[in-house]
A = this chain, B = another copy of it.
């Protein structure tokens, strides 16, 4: 167990993971410096702006923790696990660079997005650079199998985005459609972080699978909460305005669950608000009230909680005295995903 006292669970978690985050950040700064040593100064600037921006580093952290849970030491099987881990932050960065071009987003983590600060050309090309760097790290440090898992996850991500495009303004969207898009868009890559961490220390298949399952559930919960924050987040915490999904007619879980349970009149009203661009711009508040009335937010939260429970229970095979501290970090991380406000 993480040592308690008067600290909150979140404070305890942060204290437990801080040394790892510090190391990850250090390796990230060094590697970025090395990767851009001979690069155009503007490219370096773009990458620093987009990567060294106070990200949570959740993905690299999961790589490191997973390798340790499977008995890995700092250096894995001769692999620098931190160097391997930052590949996931690069890939995440690459997708954010491109997403911000696609969504024309001005803000990212409370400061200007790369797209806003440097323009779409820099954001597209900078993303490509990071993409390539991430693949190179995974291929050279993790080997062929890791690269395969990684590429499958990145391609599923693209596929999930296409699915989401297709789903946009499809107001008949089912829960199943939503979870299918989330799996590709977010969860498979989180699963890959855990699995590749385990793979890096030659963990047995059962351990790899358990960690991949943990990542899949955690990633799904993470995305549900992300979608909830788009309705209920605090801009001073999240660094981005609320209501974007609704205004774009993007169907996320709170809306889907509400449309499933609302009476005829309320359902028609919600569809009326959704169906027209202008109505969407002005109708966000009213939509929130309708979602609240049918408990769309709390039901979404419950689904995320169920995911987290399932994530944690899947790690039972790791339970032994030696693992108790690191297992409690995995549990606390899963809880953190539920309660995060940014």
Question: Footprint of B on A, CB under 8 Å?
Answer: 35, 38-40, 42-43, 94-95, 98, 101-102, 120-122, 124-129, 131-133, 135-136, 139-140, 144, 147-148, 151, 154-155, 158-159, 161-163, 165-166
Main secondary structure of the interface of A (DSSP, over half): helix
User: In the complex, A140 Cα to B142 Cα: how many Å?
Assistant: 12
CB distance from A34 to the nearest CB of B (A): 12
**Which of chain B's residues have a CB closer than 8 A to the CB of A121?**
102, 161, 165
Copies of this subunit: 2
Q: In the complex the two chains form, is A102's CB within 8 Å of B129's CB? A: no
**Which of chain B's residues have a CB closer than 8 A to the CB of A43?**
158-159, 162
**Which of chain B's residues have a CB closer than 8 A to the CB of A124?**
98, 101-102, 124
CB distance from A46 to the nearest CB of B (A): 8
Q: In the complex the two chains form, is B133's CB within 8 Å of A155's CB? A: yes
User: In the complex, A337 Cα to B121 Cα: how many Å?
Assistant: 29
* Among candidates B129, B144, B159, residue contacting A158 with C-beta atoms closer than 8 Å: B129
User: In the complex, A40 Cα to B128 Cα: how many Å?
Assistant: 22
Known contacts A39-B162, A95-B128, A127-B128, then 14 further A-B pairs from the complex at CB < 8 Å, ordered by chain A residue: A35-B155, A39-B155, A42-B165, A42-B166, A101-B120, A102-B124, A121-B161, A128-B154, A129-B159, A132-B155, A136-B147, A139-B139, A139-B147, A140-B144
User: In the complex, A140 Cα to B147 Cα: how many Å?
Assistant: 8
**Which of chain B's residues have a CB closer than 8 A to the CB of A126?**
158
User: In the complex, A38 Cα to B155 Cα: how many Å?
Assistant: 11
**Which of chain B's residues have a CB closer than 8 A to the CB of A131?**
128, 131-132
For A161, give the chain B residue with the smallest CB separation. B125
**Which of chain B's residues have a CB closer than 8 A to the CB of A39?**
155, 159, 162
In the complex with contacts A42-B166, A43-B162, A124-B102, A135-B155 CB distance below 8 A: no
* Among candidates B127, B129, B159, residue contacting A155 with C-beta atoms closer than 8 Å: B129
For A143, give the chain B residue with the smallest CB separation. B144
CB distance from A320 to the nearest CB of B (A): 35
CB distance from A145 to the nearest CB of B (A): 9
**Which of chain B's residues have a CB closer than 8 A to the CB of A94?**
128
* Among candidates B98, B127, B148, residue contacting A136 with C-beta atoms closer than 8 Å: B148
**Which of chain B's residues have a CB closer than 8 A to the CB of A135?**
132, 135-136, 139, 147, 151
